């Protein structure tokens, strides 16, 4: 059997249903519950049937007979993290690639993802993940993109909303190119159908209308820089530009606080994907980025395509070092102001994207938020408690508490001291299933080996 087939077989190894798992006891662990900024030392966390059954001092929580006992003394336990702007392969992508992406998230302690470019194949995938039939995080999925090509009239927009609601998607995904009339029809029908919409802010819509329409999330902080353009500026806010990059010399930051207040009043959440902005506007070439260790987990043909895309982006005359510096600086001020003003931020990195590798990109996004001025604890809130609030699951997720889902991340060092400490987990608990470091490393090594293999030849056509 070729190694690529073995890799697929390894990825297809089913997770047992949570109820079939023996109880799990993490003994002596320092718990970072995320209800507030604190560490509770010397605890035993008992997991049964996919839920946290007990949390308490070691002497007070007995380990049941037959339980999987993990000596976690000196380690730290926190909730699993979320990726709220993920991209799962769709269309004709091989099933093995989809499973690779899911596995990479899980290996890195990402236990919930929101797919933001949906495809019909994601609906049965969501169910399989929920049943524990695949190694991967819980999946919340948007529908196929609503954009200027897929929706050319208000009538088409109304029809698309009804179809996606009936299909069972969790969200609608808004993409560029929608006319204002089509967007307004989509927003009205989404309200009638009871399905939320999220994503980009089309140029004709603008962030003020997006806030008025109460997007569920504005992703990439799209449209905010355009809304800060100076009156009488010699550039047009509707000109094509990379999230406002070409406008940064002409902004009026005096408009910032009014935008923050409108965002808070509308109850609209923001998914910054700030690391992606740093990655795209940075100086590294595709060849340099390809040397990052995590890129070795991505199949070589995809990496080669990323290199080409990187070369094309770097050749864009809109990009220069000084403009990139100003772009990132104003975005950092924007995101800090949104956070401090009470707007909800959600953790997301846009993986899988050009050199944004699933799972590995989440610690990088956390570091980007810290560079915006958030503390490590505040950064983690965007990927734990805030996600539970946003999804209406505060009773089920977001903190390490009795009764909540057992999606957990075990770490060697205190994550509150440095967001880099969430890298290379000592273990992951996924729907109650314990994945120790040895298992995570084994799966990661297999992914690296299979990524380096040449792709299989295309099937030959049958004789005429």
First to last CA, the chain: 30
The stretches in the chain having pLDDT less than 50 are 1-19, 459-464
The β-bridge relationship of strands 269-271 and 217-219 is parallel
pLDDT at residue 148, as a whole number: 96
Non-local CB neighbours of 199 within 8 Å, separated by 6+ positions: 116, 142, 145, 173, 174, 175, 215, 217, 218, 219, 222
For residue 248, what are its two tokens? Answer: 């940064």
For 193-239, write each residue's pLDDT tens digit: 999 999 999 999 999 999 999 999 999 999 999 999 999 999 998 88
* DSSP reduced 3-state for 99: helix
For residues 347 and 387, is the Cβ–Cβ distance under 8 A? Answer: yes
Instruction: Give the number of other Cβ atoms within 10 Å of residue 182's Cβ.
Output: 26
Say how far apart CA 150 and CA 157 lie, in whole Å: 9
**Ranges of each domain in the chain:** 3-79+400-451, 81-390
Phi, psi at 363, each rounded to 5°: -60, -35
The β-bridge relationship of strands 408-411 and 427-430 is antiparallel
pLDDT at residue 453, as a whole number: 84
Q: Comparing 3-79+400-451 with 81-390, is the CATH topology the same?
A: no
Sign of CA dihedral 33, 36, 38, 41: negative
DSSP character at residue 55: E
Please count the CA atoms within 13 angstroms of the CA of 43 that sit on its side-chain side: 22
Structure-token match 């196929």, residue found: 144
pLDDT at residue 414, as a whole number: 98
Judge if the upstream peptide bond of residue 237 is cis by omega within 30 degrees of 0. no
214 conformational bin, left if phi > 0, alpha if psi -120 to 50, beta if neither: left
CATH domain 3-79+400-451 topology = Urease, subunit C; domain 1 (2.30.40)
Say how far apart CA 120 and CA 102 lie, in whole Å: 17
pLDDT at residue 173, as a whole number: 98
Please count the CA atoms within 13 angstroms of the CA of 24 that sit on its side-chain side: 26
For residues 277 and 428, is the Cβ–Cβ distance under 8 A? Answer: no
C-alpha angle 352-444-301 in degrees, rounded to nearest 5:
45
pLDDT at residue 207, as a whole number: 98
Identify the CATH homologous superfamily for domain 81-390.
Metal-dependent hydrolases (3.20.20.140)
pTM: 0.93
For 408-455, write each residue's pLDDT tens digit: 999 999 999 999 999 999 999 999 999 999 999 999 999 999 999 876
The β-bridge relationship of strands 196-199 and 217-219 is parallel
For residues 346 and 335, is the Cβ–Cβ distance under 8 A? Answer: no
Say how far apart CA 275 and CA 420 lie, in whole Å: 14
Residues in the chain: 464
């Amino acid at each position: 059997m070729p190694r690529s087939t073995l890799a697929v077989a390894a990825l297809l190894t089913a997770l047992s249903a949570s109820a079939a798992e023996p109880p799990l006891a993490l003994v002596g662990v320092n718990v970072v519950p995320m209800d507030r900024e604190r560490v509770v030392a010397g605890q035993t966390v008992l997991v049964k049937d996919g839920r946290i059954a007990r949390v308490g001092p070691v002497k007070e929580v007995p380990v049941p007979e037959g339980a999987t006992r993990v000596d976690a003394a000196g380690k730290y336990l926190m909730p699993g993290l979320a990726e709220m702007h993920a991209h799962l392969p769709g269309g004709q992508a091989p099933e093995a690639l989809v499973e690779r992406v899911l596995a990479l998230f899980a290996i890195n302690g990402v236990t919930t993802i929101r797919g933001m470019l949906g495809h019909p194949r994601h609906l049965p995938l969501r169910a399989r993940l929920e049943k524990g039939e695949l190694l991967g995080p819980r999946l919340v999925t948007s529908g196929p993109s609503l954009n200027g090509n897929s929706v050319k009239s208000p009538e088409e927009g109304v029809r698309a909303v009804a179809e996606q609601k009936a299909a069972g998607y969790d969200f609608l995904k808004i993409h560029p190119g929608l006319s204002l009339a089509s967007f307004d029809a989509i927003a009205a029908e989404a309200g009638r159908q009871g399905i939320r919409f999220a994503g980009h802010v089309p140029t004709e819509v603008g962030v003020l209308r997006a806030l008025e329409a109460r997007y569920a999330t504005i992703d990439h902080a799209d449209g905010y820089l355009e809304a800060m353009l100076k009156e009488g500026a010699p550039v047009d806010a509707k000109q094509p530009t990379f999230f406002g990059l070409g406008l940064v010399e002409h902004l009026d930051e005096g408009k910032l606080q009014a935008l923050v207040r409108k965002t808070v009043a509308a109850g609209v959440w923001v998914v910054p994907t700030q690391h992606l902005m740093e990655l795209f506007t940075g100086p590294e070439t595709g060849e340099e980025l390809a040397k990052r260790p995590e890129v070795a987990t991505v199949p070589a043909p995809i990496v080669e395509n990323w290199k080409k895309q990187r070369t094309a982006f770097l050749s864009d005359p809109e990009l220069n070092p000084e403009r990139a510096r100003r772009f990132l600086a104003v975005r950092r001020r924007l995101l800090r102001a949104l956070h401090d003003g009470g707007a909800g931020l959600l953790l997301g990195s846009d993986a899988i994207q050009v050199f944004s590798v699933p799972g590995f990109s989440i610690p990088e996004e956390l570091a980007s938020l810290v560079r915006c001025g958030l503390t490590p604890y505040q950064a983690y809130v965007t990927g734990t408690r805030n996600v539970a609030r946003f999804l209406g699951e505060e009773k089920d997720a977001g903190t390490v508490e009795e009764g909540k889902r057992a999606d957990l991340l075990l770490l060697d060092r205190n994550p509150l001291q440095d967001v880099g400490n969430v890298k290379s987990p000592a273990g992951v608990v996924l729907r109650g299933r314990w994945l120790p470091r040895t298992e995570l490393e084994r799966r990661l090594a297999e992914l690296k080996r299979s990524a380096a293999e040449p792709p299989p030849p295309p099937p030959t056509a049958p004789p005429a």
